[in-house]
Every structure is written in structure tokens, then in C-alpha cells.
Structure 1
Amino acid sequence: MFRAILPEGQVICERYDEAENGLELYDENDDFIAFVPYSNLHALLNEEVYSEDERSIM
């Protein structure tokens, strides 16, 4: 599961595809959720990374 961080909030998705100018986000049923332009994407986080270890890397 992934979490797309945007200026106005977050979108949780099961998978994503890279497009020419952004990411296409899909849910667990492989339904299209949203298109996020790279210019609006602050980060794309893999939820599994945070569930393994809660320590900060800072």
C-alpha cells in the first residue's frame, strides 16, 4: 500500500503507474482513483516501510 502526499492532503492507494507527467493511482480492486501530476506530488511513501520500524531516520 502506498500513500501519496500532496499539498492539500493524502491519497492512499494499492498500486500506481508512472505516466508521462505524473502518477496514476489505483485501489485494491484495480479501480482508478486519481491522477497526480509530479508538480503536485510531495512524496510517495511505501506503507510497509513504516510498519516495520517506527524509528525516525532524522
Structure 2
Amino acid sequence: MYRAILPEGQIQCDRYDHTENGVELYDEDDEFVAFVPYANLHALEDFHPEEERSIM
């Protein structure tokens, strides 16, 4: 699983494709989720929710 980090938040996806102007995000059923222009993409990282820990 991956997550795209944007100025407004984040979007989780199962796969992504690079295009000329940004990335296309897809879910586990290979359905299109979102297009994120490179100008708005802060990071695209490998994400494992089961490993997330809350720090208080």
C-alpha cells in the first residue's frame, strides 16, 4: 500500500502510475482513485497501516 502526501492531507492507494504531469492512484480493484499533479505531491511513500504507531 502507498500513500500520497499532499498539502491538504493524504490519499492511500494500492498502486500508482507516473504520467507526464503527475501520478494516477488506483485501489486494490485497480479502480482509478485520483490524479495528483507533481506540483501538489509532497511525497509518495510505502505505507503499512498495521505498523503505524500512535505517539502521545
TM-score, scaled relative to structure 2:
0.84
Residue correspondence of structure 1 range 8-23 to structure 2 within 5 A: 8-23=8-23
Supply the distance in 1 between the matched residues of 2:45 and 2:10 (Cα, whole angstroms). Answer: 10
Q: Which runs of 5+ in 1 are unaligned?
A: none
Match of 1:46 in 2: 46
- 5+ residue gaps, structure 2: none
Counterpart code for 2:44: L
Per-residue deviation, 1:47: 1.3
3-state SS, counterpart of residue 39 of structure 1: helix
Superposition misfits of 4+ residues, deviation over 2 angstroms: none
Number of aligned pairs?
50
More helix by share: 1
Distance 1:36 1:47 in 2: 17
- SS for the counterpart of 2:28 is coil
